[in-house]
Structures are given as C-alpha cells and as structure tokens.
Amino acid sequence: MKKLTLLGVLTLSLSHCGMVSSSSHLKHDAGQPVRTESKPWIWANDTEAEYLAMGNSSDSSSLLGPKKFLPANHPMTKRLQAWVTELDSHIRAEHPAEMAQVPSPIVHVEVTSGVNAFVTAIPVCYDNVQLTFDGSQNSGSRDGSNFVAIINDGAFYGGSAGVGQSPTEIPDCRHTTLTLAELNERLDFLNGAHKDCKVTLRPGVDHSGNTFEVLASRNCVLTGDLENRSGAAVLGMMATSRHVTVFTGILGIMGEEAIIAVLAHELGHYYRPHIGSGNVHYNFAYDASGVNPDKRPVPKAGSDAVVGQVDVVNSSFMVSGSRLSNLQANVPKAALHEVPGSEFHPTMLPVLKELMILYSSTPAPACLEASTLGASLEDDHVLQSFFLPLRALSAAEAAQVTAWEAKAVSCMKGVKLDAANASPNAVDAVESATSEWGFARQAAKPVPTTGTLLDWVRHIDAGVKSAYQQADIVPATEFSDEAIKAINDKKTSDIRASTVLAAKFERAKLGFYTPEQEADELAAEWVNGLHIDVKAPGDAFISFIKLFESDDVYNACNAKRQNKWLEDDQTSIFVPWNTLMLDPHPDSCYRVRDVDLEMGAHSYSNPAGGPRQMPETPSWDSLVTSLPKPHQLVAARVTIGIRGRASHSVGSAHGPLSGMRPLHCAFDAQH
C-alpha cells in the first residue's frame, strides 16, 4: 500500500462539546437506547484481533491478502472515533444502568472504493447444544451431524465442518458451551424476538447432563444446504460486534455533518441491537400518508393480512434463492453447463458481471452496455442470480451471453493497470469481483502493475480452468435442468407477488417499519442533540440519490424536499416505501422524507446561533485528501434490481460460514 502523507495530529478535542440535554426517555419513543430484554451476551465485546480473524473486515486469505485499514492514529480515524465517543458518552451519562452492559464502540476505516458503513455480527457456536428440525420443514433425508446451524431473525444458516474437522472446530465461529440455565435464557430471547420461529428444549430428551438438544419449529426458515438436513450437531446465534467499520469510499462523497449522521445511524443498529432482534418489533405496516408522529409508528389496524403476505412471499423467495446460491462456493461439475462460443470458463462469468457493474460509468460506452446486457441476462434467467449457467442454454441464449462477453472484453481493454489512478481502483474492483469465488481468488495473485484489466482477467481465467479441471467436486443431483426451471419459475412468481404487494402499500399510503427506519430516526435525534445541522440526515440520503440514481430521480426527490414535502395545496406528499422484497432499507427518497419529517415531529431545530461549527483543523477536505487513492469511486452509478437477503450478508471469503454473516448497512451503493 502506498505510504500515506499524514496530516498533523487532531488537536481539537470534540469531547468538550456536549450534546443537548434531553429527558431520560428518548424523544423517538423507542423507550431507551437498549432494549429491556437485552442481555450482555448479545454484544460480542470482541477484541480487534477477534473481529479481524472472523473475516468481518479483514481476511488473510482474500485475493490481495489482508484488507487495508487506516491506522488508529490517522487523523480521519481519530476524527470519526471522536464523534462516536461523544455520542456514546452522552447516551451513557443519560442511561447509565441500561448502557452498562454495552461495550463502547470502536471505529475502523477500511481503505476501499466501496460506499458503506456498518456494524456486523460474530457467530457464536454452542458446542454442547444439538439442533433438530421439525420434520415438516424438509424431508430430513440428509444427515446434519457435521453441520453448525446459526439462527438469525427466524432463519437458519448452515456451515459444514471440513474434512477431519468436527463442527466444534469450525474456525469462523466463537465456540463456547452453555449451562441449562444459560441455554434457557437464550431460548427465551429467541422466542420473544420472532413471531413464528420458535426453538425449545426437545421433549423426551434427558437434559440433566452437560449436553442438550433443542427443536426448531416448522415456521423457521432453512437456507442453503440446511434445507434438506434433519438438524445440526451445533446450534449457534449471532452476537453484535463492537466494531463499526466505515469505508473510505463513503467519506469523499458527503460532508462531515452527513457522515456524523451515518455514524449515528450505525450506533442505532448497535445499541438496540438490531442484529438478531427478530421481527416481533419490526416489519409492520403503518400510516405514512401525512406528517410523522412524535413517537415510534404503530401498526395500522387491519393491515395484518397484507403484512402476512409479505412474510410468506419473502420466505419463499429466500428459500428458492438459497437453493441456487448454495452452489456458489463449489459449483458441481455436473450442474455447470459450458456456454458455446464463450471465451471464459463459466465460473468466471460472475467475476465479469461484477467488474462490469463497477466500471459501468467509465468513459467507455462498452462498460455501460455490458452492465445493461448483464442485467437482462439475469432478469431473464439466462444466467442465474450469481451468474452461472446452471442449465443448458439455447443457441439464442448462448448468443446473448457471448454478445455480453464481447462488450465486457471491449470494456476491460480500456482499463490500464499502470495508469496513475486506474491501478488502485482496478485492484479494488477485482478484489470485490472475485471475493466469493475460490478458484478466481487464488488465481488472481500476484497483482500485476502493467497491462490492462483484460490481460489480468485472462490470466485469472487460465488459472480457473486449470484448478477447476483438477478439482474433485461432488455432483449435485438435485440441480437438474428441470429443477432449475422450477426454482426460477417460483422466484419469478414471488417477484410478481411482491410487486403487487408494493402497489397495495402505495395505494393505501402505508410505510413498512424496519430496523433501518428506526436507526434513521434515532440518528436524527442524536444528530440534533449534537447541534449538527438538522438537515444532515436527509443530506446523507440525498447524496446517494444524486450519486447512484438517474438525474430525473434525484431532481424529482430534491424538488419535493425543497417544497418541504408538501403539495401545492399544502397536503402532505407521499413517497412509496420500496419493493418489500427482502430489503429492510426503504427507498432513499422515502428515507430523506422520513428524517426530514422527524425534525418537525420532535421540534428539532438548529440552535439560535446556528448549527455547530465543524473543527477547522484539520478541515474535512484535508482529511479526505489524505485518504489513499482507492477511496475514489470505481463507478458512479449502479444498476439496481431485485436483490435477495444474501446481498445484506458479508462474511469471510472462505470457510463454511462464509457469506452468511449479516451486515446492518445503512449506506451502500445499492440503497
């Protein structure tokens, strides 16, 4: 990594600039920053070494080795940590009893062109607790004795032990054992957090010793390989990490006040805590037709039926998607079809797809054309959601793939690896594009310093072809052409049903309350308490619309905002929530409106002397200038489509639990 030219030490302390005092209860009416039912074990209280080892932000076996972070004494890291510490200190002073169990958050700044900020989770495996699934969930035809099952929000995610390993040795998990009293406490928490999925001690089993067995009810969702398992040898749960990660890519696209709103949003996720909090507190419809109330919304009477339809459609879509994505880590040869006329190995097609998204707004028209063509291939199920040909393609479909590939080749020819500003972004782009694909990740080393992106991708492709040919991969008999068609038909049906449901929400002017909205509204309160400009939370979201949506979408939303969300007749403007398909994030314009209206609902305003002045030394612009090159955006626009729950999950790029660790991400390029 290029050696940084660091600015001077941050000399202006932020800690003496206190927040505005408020009553002992949050004005948001969430009741308190920490849920009454929360327990200390909900927070991992992990060290930095533990956090990085779990692959949440750094992965020693990733494409380019360990990911790059700004040092703790970098002025940008110090500035962000100072804001987080000030927020945290004030809330602890007002709520000492509730906050005593919550570890103080720690900020990390990852050097990447990605646009995101998040808190995440660490899986905790209870090695002396075995799990059995209710037989009605699946055929129970496959033994689960080599599996760990992690429960989160009513769904189980699976990981299998490696050859010669037991489930109690899986490295992606924090391993511990429980007493019966501790297990019961955790089961009470789980069952109180979810409407339908319940986990109880298995009847008829002796629980007087040191090992226990629990039973998951039929309403729990099983994903991936667990869909056809009878159970798992080890039960696990998520614990919230104390580490808040901010990508450098987000720091250069908005001002300091908006970044403070981003940090406050993430603390909302952290304190509540939203990871594993279940759907009993969220996912309800409410009246969003007028101004915001001065408290948390309440479910609208008579809306239970339509919300129940959302749950059914999303659960069905998730299971269908997980069956396909289960092939992602190691694609069985028998389930993978060659594409006639294609230059690249089939497992390279997802890499090309990701690269085309990342480069879709470069000057070369071929990059945008390739991104657009790729989206149509996915929408039409020519290539699957992770871009593999899992069925035999017709001649016409194969021609579509090769036409798309030709555009991708033309695009990659124009990306020079030795250009002053292109090289860091190219490295970052290929890191992202290959992160979930073992053969490609291994073949991508070492990083070249000359040539074009196409040269490098062809080098990776040669390595993939060699590695895949030698690999001994067990065929997946359940993935026949007929099975793939059935899954795709079901997914298409679910997407249609979701669109119909979204239209019902829009006609009735309903919102859909999720943890993301709660974090937005908590951030609005806390930003106001810091005397930050009351427009800052809305400014954060409008920045994303301007960057990642069309000019028409941005101009329309900004015009509504400038008109204070009122029609010409002074009635309230309604903004639709979103598609309701497995995404807890509302539409960005909805979020701008919501946080703006929160300011009025709670009488938040800038103080008489104006909003708080940001520190002058170093200036925010100077801090951004000090960041390494990869903070620059690779692409200015991203094609947005229907996205599944996996899009909110980031894990280490290796190991049995890779890809199932959920992030609560407020801000990324596709929200």
Looking at the fold, whether 219 and 345 belong to one and the same domain comes out as no
What domain range is 201 assigned to? 121-240
With cut-offs at 50, 70 and 90, classify the pLDDT of residue 447. confident
Check residue 333 and give its pLDDT: 76
Give, as one character, the DSSP assignment of residue 118: E
Query: Do 333 and 469 reside in the same domain of the chain?
Result: yes
Distance CA 226, CA 143 (A): 10
Domains identified in the chain, total number: 2
Note whether 332 and 451 are same-domain residues.
Answer: yes
Based on the fold, state whether residues 356 and 471 are members of the same structural domain.
yes
Give residue 580's pLDDT band: very low, low, confident or very high (50, 70, 90): confident
Do residues 340 and 451 share a domain? Answer: yes
Q: Indicate the range of 221-225, 233-237, 420-424, 433-437 predicted with least confidence.
A: 420-424
**Mean pLDDT across the stretch 514-535?**
92
Least confident range from 72-86, 305-319, 586-600: namely 305-319
Q: Is the peptide bond before 424 cis (omega within 30 degrees of 0)?
A: no
> Is there a single domain that holds both residue 358 and residue 231?
no
The answer to whether the beta carbons of residues 437 and 659 sit under 8 Å apart is no
- Regarding whether 221 and 340 lie in a shared domain, the answer is no
Mean pLDDT over each residue of the chain, to the nearest integer: 83
Residue 299 CA to residue 258 CA, distance in Å, equals 30
Query: Is the pTM value of this prediction over 0.75?
Result: yes
Q: What ranges make up the beta strands (E) of 378-522?
A: 510-513
Q: Are 239 and 44 in contact (CB under 8 A)?
A: yes
Instruction: Please tell me whether residues 336 and 227 are part of one structural domain.
Output: no
Instruction: Express each pLDDT in 199-232 by its tens digit.
Output: 999 999 999 999 999 999 988 888 877 877 889 9
Whether 568 is covered by a domain: the verdict is no
Q: Is the pLDDT of residue 191 over 80?
A: yes
Q: Which of 208, 240, 272 is the last residue of a domain?
A: 240
Is 553 domain-assigned?
no
Residue 206 in any domain: the answer is yes
Judgement on whether residues 230 and 354 belong to the same structural domain of the protein = no
Does residue 407 form part of some domain? Answer: yes
Is residue 125 a part of any domain in this protein? yes
Q: Tell me if 225 is assigned to some domain.
A: yes
Instruction: Confirm whether 353 is domain-assigned.
Output: yes
Count of C-beta atoms within a 10 Å radius of residue 123:
25
Domain boundary among 216, 240, 264: 240
Whether cis (ω within 30° of 0) applies to the bond prior to 446 is yes
36-78 pLDDT, tens digit per residue, is 888 999 999 999 888 877 754 434 333 334 568 899 999 999 9
| pLDDT tens-digit series, residues 304-326 | 999 999 989 988 888 888 778 77
Q: Is the pLDDT of residue 481 over 80?
A: yes
**Residue 591 falls within a domain, yes or no?**
no
Last residue of a domain, one of 219, 240, 261: 240
Is the same domain home to 203 and 341?
Answer: no
Q: pLDDT for 337-353, tens place per residue?
A: 899 999 999 989 999 99
Count of C-beta atoms within a 10 Å radius of residue 70 = 25
